Amino acid sequence: MVIVTLQREKCIGCNYCAEFAPEYFRMSKKDGKSVLLKTTDKKGFYTLKTTDTEAFEPLDRAAKACPVKIISVRLT
CA 3 to chain centre: 10
Which of 23, 28, 24 lies closest to 9 in space, CA to CA? 28
The 3-state secondary structure of the chain reads CEEEEEEHHHCCCCCHHHHHCCCCEEECCCCCCEEECCCCEECCEEEEEECCHHHHHHHHHHHHHCCCCCEEEEEC
Per-residue pLDDT tens digits for 16-47: 999 999 999 999 999 999 999 999 889 999 99
Can you give the pLDDT at residue 24?
98
Kindly report the backbone phi and psi dihedral angles of residue 41, in degrees, each rounded to the nearest multiple of 5, phi listed first: -80, 130
Residue with more model confidence, 15 or 41: 15
* CATH for 2-75 (3.30.70.20, 3.50.50.60, 3.40.50.1000, 3.30.1300.10): 3.30.70.20
Q: Any idea where the domains of the chain sit in the sequence?
A: 2-75
Can you give the pLDDT at residue 40?
82
Q: What is the pTM of this model?
A: 0.93
